């Protein structure tokens, strides 16, 4: 196995996952991050639901089916990794993939599972295998382990240009100098199009804003992860409650602050003891959303040494896709599991 110089741009969950998989297999890994720490872009604002049962195109089912098992493998490798395997309780959501390891609950069962709801549906779906993580802690842990295996991490470093010679990338120019590479991995989220455009290879990724609302609570109000038409919420700690909302626009009536406050008030009304909730923060994350909503992963067809890794559902899919991507880079043997994720599926790219 040849030791390669692999530069990873981006220290969010995607870049950290790939760095860990490559470094533990003796590759010469350098991670470059423009912020002073990891996970400060969309990873930090992620609701971090390991969500495997929502509706996806059939050609991607195998990735979501394998995602949970990959997290269990990762937990065995890294005993420090804490995952809340509390399951997800959903109702009023037609976008679930039936009958994928889902349990139908009646009203009595829902009340027993979540005793602090003010109102109960007659029926709900429980996905017992799903869970959630602390996205910042996970990213930091993966980077730390990658460093133990020899990876280098450069924070506060801007990538200014990808250096090509003929049809091959040979390195990256940064605010702190040139870094030579055999492979450059673009895991920079919304930074990926910006870096690819000067090469003449645009990537169809657009920002998809999401809103994360953090609240303080004196007591445990939610036991599982709850998703319904009124709210999407989970409780990562005894005294912290998180809610996720879709971004609407920047208007006064639908801006992030207003949407966040509405979600806060909804939870105060929807939970017994909800009046104890205190609003802590409202943050907007710019998720990198490929044109069709599915990951773009793999070597670029026309630029040797360029590997793309940009995706939605990054928390769910990163550990699995990182392992497959590392295998492709190290062994130069394309993994058919990633075939639906290739950039070439977009006709204009």
Give pLDDT tens digits for 166-201. Answer: 999 999 999 999 999 999 999 999 999 999 999 999
- Residue 2 — very low, low, confident or very high, per pLDDT cuts 50/70/90? confident
pLDDT of residue 315: 97
Nearest to 119 by CA among 231, 236, 220: 231
Burial of 131 (0-12, 13-18, 19+ CB in 10 A): buried
Asked if the model's pLDDT at residue 98 lies above 70, the reply is no
Which spans in the chain are helix H?
13-23, 61-77, 107-113, 135-148, 191-196, 256-270, 314-331
pLDDT of residue 347: 82
Average pLDDT on 65-71 reads: 95
- Residue 304 — very low, low, confident or very high, per pLDDT cuts 50/70/90? very high
343, 296 Cβ separation under 8 angstroms:
yes
Mean of all residue pLDDT scores within the chain: 95
29, 298 Cβ separation under 8 angstroms:
no
- Which secondary structure element, helix H or strand E, spans residue 123, and what is its range? strand 123-127
Asked if the model's pLDDT at residue 99 lies above 60, the reply is no
Lowest mean pLDDT: which of 73-82, 100-109, 230-239, 309-318? 100-109
Asked if the model's pLDDT at residue 272 lies above 90, the reply is yes
Residue whose structure tokens are 């017992």: 128
Average pLDDT on 26-47 reads: 96
Over residues 207-258, the pLDDT tens digits come to: 999 999 999 999 999 999 999 999 999 999 999 999 999 888 888 788 999 9
Lowest mean pLDDT: which of 74-88, 94-108, 209-223? 94-108
pLDDT of residue 299: 97
Average pLDDT on 314-319 reads: 97
pLDDT of residue 254: 84
Q: Measure the CA–CA gap between 340 and 57, rounded to whole angstroms.
A: 10
pLDDT of residue 142: 98
Q: Measure the CA–CA gap between 31 and 13, rounded to whole angstroms.
A: 12
Q: What is the CA radius of gyration of the chain?
A: 21
pLDDT of residue 101: 75
Asked if the model's pLDDT at residue 129 lies above 90, the reply is yes
């Amino acid at each position: 196995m040849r030791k390669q110089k692999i530069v990873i741009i981006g220290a969010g969950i995607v870049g950290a996952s790939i760095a860990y998989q490559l470094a533990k297999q003796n590759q010469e890994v350098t991670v470059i991050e423009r912020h002073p720490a990891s996970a400060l872009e969309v990873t930090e604002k992620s609701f971090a639901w390991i969500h495997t049962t929502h509706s996806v195109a059939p050609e991607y089912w195998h990735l979501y089916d394998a995602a949970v098992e990959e997290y269990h493998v990762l937990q065995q490798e890294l005993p420090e990794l804490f995952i809340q395997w509390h399951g997800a309780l959903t109702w009023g959501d037609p976008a679930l993939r039936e009958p994928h390891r889902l349990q139908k609950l009646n009203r009595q069962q829902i009340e027993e599972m979540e005793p602090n709801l003010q109102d109960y549906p007659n029926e709900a779906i429980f996905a017992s295998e799903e869970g959630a993580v602390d996205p910042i802690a996970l990213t930091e842990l993966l980077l730390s382990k990658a460093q133990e295996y020899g990876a280098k991490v450069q924070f506060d470093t801007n990538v200014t240009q990808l250096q090509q010679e003929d049809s091959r990338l040979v390195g990256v120019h940064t605010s702190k100098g040139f870094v030579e590479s055999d492979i450059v991995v673009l895991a920079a989220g919304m930074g990926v199009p910006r870096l690819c455009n000067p090469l003449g290879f645009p990537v169809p990724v657009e920002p998809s804003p999401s809103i994360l609302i953090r609240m303080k609570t004196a007591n445990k109000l939610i036991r599982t992860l709850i998703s319904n038409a009124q709210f999407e919420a989970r409780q990562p700690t005894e005294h912290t409650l998180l809610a996720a909302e879709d971004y609407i626009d920047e208007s006064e009536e639908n801006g992030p602050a207003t949407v966040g406050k509405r979600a806060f008030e909804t939870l105060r009304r929807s939970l017994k003891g909800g009046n104890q909730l205190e609003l802590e923060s409202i943050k907007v994350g710019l998720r990198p959303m490929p044109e069709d909503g599915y990951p773009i992963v793999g070597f670029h067809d026309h630029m040797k040494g360029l590997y793309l890794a940009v995706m939605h559902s990054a928390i769910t899919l990163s550990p699995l896709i990182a392992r497959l991507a590392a295998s492709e880079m190290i062994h130069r043997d394309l993994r058919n599991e990633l075939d639906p994720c290739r950039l070439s599926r977009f006709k204009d790219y």
